[in-house]
Amino acid sequence: MARSASIGLAALGLALCCPAIAHAQTASDAAASDASNPIDPAAMQAMDKMSAALMTLNAFRIDADVTTEQVLMTGQKVQFGGTLQILARRPDAFRIVADSDLQRREMFYDGKTFTIFAPRLGYYASFPAPPSIGLTIDKARTDFGIELPLADLFTWGTDQTLRSRVQEAMIVRPETINGNKCTHYAFRQAKVDWQLWVADNGLPLPCKIVITSKEDPAMPQYAAVLRWDTQTPPSAADLAFTPPADAHRITMADLSAAKGKGDGQ
């Protein structure tokens, strides 16, 4: 049996691991740097430029290869691979498909309703959603315990608390991801470490993301290698959810309502 990973998405009774980031220097050089100045301003500036670039995208497509680690009761870590597809149109529509040998989940948002669908099980559930992607991501997390995979791609640049939580930041080195020249950065927060590889040419978009949970002593990781398409906007049909004839709608548990009742007892 596996211990529960701290980075993931829970819905329809099952867990879907995701989804909450000078001169170049090597990792060994960085480790030896002055501990009194753990935040490299150049690394933070690079993150700010990436955030600004993400905010300029009115529509985009992402295909990603993802790797999720789970921790067994013995402490051994095992890895599972999968794919992630994100189609988005700001400010009020997306489709996210997370697929692996273990399970498949499809998530839709159309400006009014958020829906999650488990096609292999034939069940789907929905809740009335706010009028923007950012607010819907927050509602899914706080009211229903759903963490959308790579949700930060939608909120970087708008969520200033992400930047304020960074405790350490450094430039690692230039590297090549999927044939693209990228610069590797590493950041630390209280509960997670995370790494970014940001494209050096064209828009400074993330080429790869690695998130390491520090809430579990085994420190399981989630990694995603991203391929961007900013030239082919998703159509309305790409983003729409039409339940199959044999699919069954179920009720999504509202955690905020349950908490409210508990607080009143």
Q: Half-sphere exposure of 105 toward its Cβ, with a 13 Å CA cutoff?
A: 22
* pLDDT reported for residue 255: 80
* pLDDT reported for residue 156: 87
Contact call for residues 54 and 184 (beta carbons, < 8 A): no
Q: E strands of 46-191, at which residues?
A: 59-72, 77-89, 93-100, 104-109, 113-118, 123-128, 168-177, 180-188
Burial of residue 95, with CB atoms counted within 10 A of its CB: 0-12 exposed, 13-18 middle, 19 or more buried: buried
DSSP code for 39? B
| Mean residue pLDDT across the chain | 86
Q: What is the pLDDT of residues 94-123, one digit of tens each?
A: 999 999 998 999 999 999 999 999 999 999
Q: What is the pLDDT of residues 138-157, one digit of tens each?
A: 999 999 999 999 999 998 87
Q: What is the pLDDT of residues 1-56, one digit of tens each?
A: 544 333 233 334 433 445 454 333 444 444 444 556 799 999 999 999 999 999 99
Q: Could you tell me which residue, 223 or 5, shows the higher pLDDT?
A: 223
Q: For residue 154, how far is the Cα from the chain centroid?
A: 9
* pLDDT reported for residue 116: 97
Model pTM greater than 0.75? yes
Least confident of 4-18, 132-146, 182-196, 236-250: 4-18
Contact call for residues 221 and 214 (beta carbons, < 8 A): no
Query: What is the average pLDDT across 196-218?
Result: 96
Domains and CATH numbers, the chain: 2-257 (2.50.20.10)
Query: What is the average pLDDT across 195-201?
Result: 97
Burial of residue 124, with CB atoms counted within 10 A of its CB: 0-12 exposed, 13-18 middle, 19 or more buried: buried
Q: E strands of 110-253, at which residues?
A: 113-118, 123-128, 168-177, 180-188, 192-199, 206-213, 221-229, 248-249
Report the candidate in 224, 240, 191, 194 with the shortest Cα–Cα distance to residue 87.
Answer: 240
Rounded distance between C-alpha atoms, residue 95 and residue 126, angstroms: 14
- Element (H or E) spanning 54, and its range? helix 41-55
CA distances from 160 to 48, 106, 192, 214 (A): 11, 29, 17, 22
* pLDDT reported for residue 3: 46
